[in-house]
Amino acid sequence: MTGVAEKAVTRPGVKRIIGIDFDFGSLRTAGPRYWAFVSLLFTLIVLGVTAWGAALSHGGAVMAMRDNYPWGLWFTNYMYYIGLSAGGLVVYASVHLFGAKQFAPLSRLAVLQAGVLVMLALLGIITDMERPWRAVYMLLSPNPSSPFVYTGSAANIYMIICFVDLWILITGKGGHKLAHRMTLIALPFAIYLHTTTAFVLALNKSRELWNSAVMVPIFLTSATASGISLLLICAYIMQRTGVFKFKPSMFRSLATLLATVIITDLFLLAVEIMTVFWPTSAKPGHALRFAEFFTGEYALAFIPVLVLGVGAFALLAGRSTRHLPAVQITASAMYVVAVFLKRYSLMAMGFSTNTLGQYTAPYFPSLTEVLIAVGLLSVGLLIMTLSARVLPLRVPEEELHDADAQDAAAAAGLAVGVG
């Protein structure tokens, strides 16, 4: 890795900043479709900033959130983006901790995706604050009994770890040993981040459907499944645009991993549903609330979670069709949508019936909230779009061969030691 990083910059338009060769010259050769897409993203970002300005000026009057729904689209997206970031870490950790070398070409893209998604989650919190400059008081006098203190701090630290990891992977500083050590640091922090995010819901004893010990593992499995799905889609897009060239075997391995995580996620959800409605374990408050998500107005959000989830697994379950790109992309897209609806349903499960037992009509975000959310999503897409051309995200072949040689040497040394 170090040898690759020390090569001199010879191409015009390449600027070395903090040890990374930024290929700004490639932007000059970008086609009209690329710049049309960038222009669209800039337009959506401007609309999002305008909507946020209206929220800062008028406060909650332009939001659909109310007393019975203090958390809205911003919190749904916070849980969603935090969860999506898990896929990048799983792939990255598989390479450096478990020797899954078929995923090595994806390592830089996976870490970048994870860092950008956590950044979007944090930006969503800021846009929800009517006085975001007062956030400093949370740092100066945090409430240790609030789960938000732990999940917020974990998200900030994890985002920094992701971008430091990306810098190490691109520059090659420290070689594979440092990359391995960074993975050992990132993995516990990622688990901690996803766990504390789930605890924001699970530790509310007054919200009956949230107050479940299964909430944490369900959050982890759905986060991992949706994150891998998004990474698979992103990898296909990058290959289609010529940024990467992956082997079909890598996509096959990714699809197999995705199918395994999806069935685990569906199993945990089925166990939770069975526990709520089983005659000898059912609690009136739980069963009454959960029924709204099967037969009430909330069913429009929750039933598709089950349909899309089972459908995605069915597509990936067949060994004869799992290798087909159309099947992989379709199943991944289905589960990305399913987990977004699942995150909305999780948020709604705490507010559909308030603490006094009164039913609350479903929440639908206002135009202002939608524009802010679309603007934030456009920020993430813009970063990924520019990074695809400017950053050296493709792992050099010689680096992959060096990693294989080091692993072979380590295995040989272990064999000799055992002998």
- Residue 301: per-residue pLDDT: 92
Q: What's the pLDDT score for residue 403? A: 53
What CATH class does 2-402 carry? Answer: mainly alpha
The pTM of this model reads 0.87
Listed residue (363, 379, 348, 410) closest to 119, CA to CA: 379
169, 163 contact by CB (below 8 A): no
- Residues whose CB falls within 8 Å of the CB of residue 295, separated by 6 or more in sequence, listed in order: none
Give the CA-trace dihedral at 167, 27, 36, 74, to 10 degrees. 20
Task: Tell me what pLDDT residue 77 has.
Answer: 93
The confidence score (pLDDT) of residue 10 equals 57
Give Cβ neighbours of residue 23 (< 8 Å, ≥ 6 apart): 11, 13, 14, 389, 390, 391, 392
Q: What is the pLDDT of residue 345?
A: 92
- Positions in the chain whose pLDDT score sits under 50: 1-8, 407-419
- Rounded to whole angstroms, the maximal C-alpha distance in the chain is 74
Model pLDDT, residue 384: 93
Predicted local distance difference test score (pLDDT) of residue 399: 62
- State residue 417's pLDDT score: 45
**pLDDT given for residue 62 in this prediction:** 87
Measure the CA–CA gap between 309 and 165, rounded to whole angstroms: 32
